Amino acid sequence: MTHYQADAVVVGGGIVGCATAYQLTQSGMDVILLERAGIGSGATGRSGGGVRQSARVSGEIPLAIESVNLFQGLSDELGIDIDYTQSGNLRLVEMYDHRRPMQVDISRQQSHGLDVQWLEGADVIEIAPALRRQEIIGASYCPEDGHCDPFKLITGYFNRATQNGVRTLLNSDVHSIERNDDGGSTVKTQQHSVKAGSIILATGSGTQELCLKIGYDLPLVNARYESMITEPLPPLLRQMFGVASSDLFFRQTQNGGIHFGGGIIDEEEQEDVRTTQDNLEMAVSHITRLVSNLENANLLRTWGGLDPSTPDGMPIIDMLDENVFVASGFCGHGLATGPIVGHYLAQWVIDGNKPQPLAGFNRNRFDGWLQTKWTPSGSFEAALATQDTQVAGKSVAVEGVPFMTPPDFEQCDDEGAPHRLVVSPEMCTGCRMCEVACSIHHTQSVSQTDLRIQVVYPSDDFFLPIMCIHCEPVFCLQACTHKAMEQDEQGIVRVIDNKCVGCMDCVKACPTGGVTFAISRATVVKCDLCDGDPACTRYCPTMAITYRQADPACATKYKQLIDVHLKDRVTR
């Protein structure tokens, strides 16, 4: 076993992996690239070569638009002509029934800022004369779409990455990933062990399996795509073509070959990359019906490939664990977005902040509906479907309004710890509903004097409920010389009413101001956590006070807050 060490290890030598490796090294990172077979041997090398923004689900459109901007300078940047032509994408409509849904879908894409339009049949023939007029009702047309040579694209990225010092280990199938104490990971293959600070999984059809090994069940299903190419023909087709409600795509490559094919999701044969006679025949008959003069062209070769799909037609680009990133599930159209994903993914790895354009690709968007069958919304198919499509759940938070975002308890929750009150002062509006609830619960009236919880107002935009947090050490109990306080096995401290003489020693000792002298009873009062169902938390409208198993560090933080804000007596 050979041991390697690097800043980052990228697993997967496809477009996403190579682009990410290249971008990481552009920022001076030391990168190792692991590939189970050869560069571009997966979905990238087997792709259709389309570089389109149109006919995508809404969430991908902004990323695709940005990627196309990147493509325009890519031949120069990579130092290799990637045969990129921006000749437009036509998504053909063959049936009158599809005309209106397509128009609706075009409007949808326009509303996301994409330059895409509806062309009537005659106008389609005008720009693509090889199509048979009688077959074409119309098409969606996005003039800035186009196609490129995927092999040249990935070669460009790989060469640049290598020039920047990326070390590549081919034929290296990852069989385990271990987390190290320093926050990094060790990736192991049969022959190598690579230790790195960050790990990026751009593993295409192998992602599901690999992620399961490290405990993440991602909703990815591999789909098979089958393609073929003809012998070189004279110039016939300029654009990239797709067909509404069909998987057929086609384009003419730079050297004249017509590259066409389609995809099928067949869960039975997930790992099979062979082509099938039935599918090929279907594709051939379909393309010859649409394009004239193809009947006599000879096929040179056919091939198949796998790419994982997600339930909503968009990839998962996310951080699985600290410094473990994944980018997969491109659903058969990742070639166009690969370069921009590589760009942002590298940015994320380097500065640790998720770039805003990747915000919509979290894996947790599938939480709760993994088991349901789901029609991708935001697509022609959805517009075609008559039944309602399921939409993601309503967000509780209001974007751009900080106090409308529920508090994040990840830092303080601790399953082993006892239940305590946790204050999130940023959520507190100063309404005193906690006081009211506490008072009604303990005194059956809305009292002002026997308050076990009390909101204070250190400034006009910062409010804080103060109460006992049942902290350790138990200052109040220690200070009490009349044995008027007791602590149960949960650590909850209660006042023994008939022993309390109201000497106030505990009031003075309490670091949070959580013990109060109640004039009406001449004893002290304090929070008793309402026997496990605190009234204040039930009435608090904003989750500023919650009752949870909290790390004792929360109590320390709360005490610090009180120290900072309540040094002097604060009025309410």
Q: Binding mask 118-157 vs other proteins (x if CB under 8 A, - otherwise)?
A: x---------------------------------------
Instruction: Indicate whether 26 belongs to the interface with other proteins (CB under 8 A).
Output: no
How many CB atoms sit inside 10 A of residue 261's CB? 26
For tokens 């990129």, name the residue. 84
State both tokens at 260: 């066409």
Instruction: Indicate whether 537 belongs to the interface with other proteins (CB under 8 A).
Output: no
Q: By rule CB under 8 A, what count of residues binds other proteins?
A: 58
Of the residues 285, 387, 445, 498, which one makes contact with other proteins according to CB under 8 A: 445
Q: Residue 235: is the preceding peptide bond cis (ω within 30°)? A: no
Of the residues 232, 355, 407, 430, which one makes contact with other proteins according to CB under 8 A: 430
DSSP string, 87-135: --EEEEE-SHHHHHHHHHHHHHHHTTT---EEEEHHHHHHH-TTB-GGG
Instruction: Indicate whether 354 belongs to the interface with other proteins (CB under 8 A).
Output: no
Of the residues 417, 431, 477, 503, which one makes contact with other proteins according to CB under 8 A: 431
Instruction: Indicate whether 477 belongs to the interface with other proteins (CB under 8 A).
Output: no
* Region label for 475, one of left (φ > 0), alpha (ψ between -120 and 50) or beta (otherwise): alpha
Instruction: Indicate whether 444 belongs to the interface with other proteins (CB under 8 A).
Output: yes
**Could you give the angle at which helices 150-163 and 338-351 cross, rounded to 10 degrees?**
30
Q: Binding mask 80-119 vs other proteins (x if CB under 8 A, - otherwise)?
A: --------------------x--xxxxxx-xxxx---xx-
Q: Who contacts 41 (Cβ-Cβ below 8 Å, separation ≥6)?
A: 13, 35
Q: Which is nearer to other proteins, 188 or 354 (CB)?
A: 354
Residue 309 CB, nearest distance to other proteins (Å)? 20
Q: Binding mask 390-429 vs other proteins (x if CB under 8 A, - otherwise)?
A: -x--xx--xxxxxxx------------------------x
- Choose among 107, 125, 124: nearest CA to 116: 107
Of the residues 249, 325, 348, 463, which one makes contact with other proteins according to CB under 8 A: 463
Instruction: Indicate whether 331 belongs to the interface with other proteins (CB under 8 A).
Output: no
Q: Which of residues 517-536 bind other proteins (CB under 8 A)?
A: 519
Instruction: Indicate whether 561 belongs to the interface with other proteins (CB under 8 A).
Output: no
Of the residues 185, 230, 377, 516, which one makes contact with other proteins according to CB under 8 A: 377
| Own/partner pairs, 252-255, CB within 8 angstroms, 24+ separation | 253/49, 253/83, 253/149, 253/229, 254/83, 254/149
From residue 440, alpha-carbon distances to 415, 434, 450, 522, 535 in Å are 31, 10, 11, 19, 9
Residue 293 CB, nearest distance to other proteins (Å)? 32
DSSP string, 35-75: -SSSTTTTTTTTS--EE-SSS--GGGHHHHHHHHHHHTTHH
Of the residues 26, 58, 159, 523, which one makes contact with other proteins according to CB under 8 A: 58
Residue 13 CB, nearest distance to other proteins (Å)? 34
Of the residues 151, 303, 409, 539, which one makes contact with other proteins according to CB under 8 A: 539
Q: Which is nearer to other proteins, 36 or 365 (CB)?
A: 365
Residue 261 CB, nearest distance to other proteins (Å)? 29
Q: Which is nearer to other proteins, 191 or 449 (CB)?
A: 449
d(C-alpha 390, C-alpha 168), whole Å: 43
d(C-alpha 403, C-alpha 525), whole Å: 32
Among the residue ranges 34-42, 90-98, 387-395, 466-474, the one whose residues contact other proteins (CB under 8 A)? 387-395
Of the residues 319, 335, 382, 476, which one makes contact with other proteins according to CB under 8 A: 382
For tokens 């929070």, name the residue. 527
Q: Which of residues 229-258 bind other proteins (CB under 8 A)?
A: none
d(C-alpha 455, C-alpha 463), whole Å: 7
d(C-alpha 328, C-alpha 167), whole Å: 22
Instruction: Indicate whether 443 belongs to the interface with other proteins (CB under 8 A).
Output: yes
State both tokens at 343: 């760009």
**Could you give the angle at which helices 338-351 and 15-26 cross, rounded to 10 degrees?**
40
For tokens 């004893």, name the residue. 523
Residue 120 CB, nearest distance to other proteins (Å)? 10
Residues binding other proteins (CB under 8 A) = 58, 100, 103-108, 110-113, 117-118, 377-378, 382-383, 388, 391, 394-395, 398-404, 429-433, 436-437, 439-441, 443-449, 460-461, 463, 519, 538-539, 541-542, 569-572
